[in-house]
Amino acid sequence: MVVKKTRGRPPGDPQDIRTERIAIRVHPDLLFELNVLARYEGVTRSVLIERLLIRLVNDHFGRTVVDRVGRYLNEPPTAADDRALGKGVEYLRKEVRKVRKSRQTG
């Protein structure tokens, strides 16, 4: 019996399938910077944004809530996790302040 080799990428884990889409409008300057970051990281813009969102969610709750694909590790956050609310947003605010400060001095 001859086994025929298939071409292309082997199938991945069916649990890793991303079925949802998010469409947003952004300023051309932000799009440019996202492209620069994605190229620097060696990933697509979509993957970069997904990683940023996963990091934001996990930082927001102060623990790993979703894995690298975006799936819950154990279960969704509960009301007990409310004590950590705002941490991810505050992280973004600090980053914006750093960028503004560096642009003002540079």
User: What amino acid occupies position 46?
Assistant: S
Q: Where are the domains of the chain?
A: 25-105
14-58 tens-digit pLDDT:
888 888 999 999 999 999 999 999 999 999 999 999 999 999 888
pLDDT at 1: 63
Stretch 59-65: mean pLDDT: 82
Calculate the alpha carbon distances from 94 to 15, 76, 87 in Å: 35, 27, 11
Query: Coil, helix or strand for 47?
Result: helix
